[in-house]
Structure 1
Amino acid sequence: MEFKESQAIYLQIADYICEQILLDKWKADDRLPSVRELAVQTEVNPNTVMRTCEYLQQYEIIYNKRGIGYFVASDAMKRIKQLKKERFMENELPQFFRNLYLLDIELDELKTHYEKYKRSHFR
Structure 2
Amino acid sequence: MDYSENRPIYMQIVDHFCDQILRKKWTAGDRIPSVREIAVKMEVNPNTAIRAFHYLQDEGILYNERGVGYFVSDNAFELVISLKREEFIKNKLPGFYNDMKLLGFSCSDLDELYSEHHGEG
TM-score (norm 1): 0.92
Aligned residues: 120
Query: Corresponding residue for 1:72?
Result: 72
CA distance in structure 2 between the partners assigned to 1:47 and 1:73 by the alignment: 22
Give the letter for the 1:88 counterpart: F
Structure 1 alignment gaps of length 5 or more? none
- Report the CA distance between 1:40 and its aligned residue: 0.3
Structure-to-structure mapping, 1:45-64, within 5 angstroms: 45-64=45-64
Residues 50-106 of structure 1, C-alpha deviation per residue, up to 9 Å, x if partnerless? Answer: 000000011100000011110000110000000000010011000001001111112
CA distance in structure 2 between the partners assigned to 1:17 and 1:4 by the alignment: 16
Query: Alpha carbon RMSD of aligned pairs, Å?
Result: 1.6
Q: What SS is found at the alignment partner of 2:29?
A: coil
Residues 4-38 of structure 1, C-alpha deviation per residue, up to 9 Å, x if partnerless? Answer: 00000000001101111111111111001010000
CA distance in structure 1 between the partners assigned to 2:91 and 2:46 by the alignment: 28
Query: Corresponding residue for 1:91?
Result: 91
Query: Corresponding residue for 1:112?
Result: 112
CA distance in structure 2 between the partners assigned to 1:121 and 1:64 by the alignment: 39
TM-score (norm 2): 0.93
- Report the CA distance between 1:112 and its aligned residue: 1.9
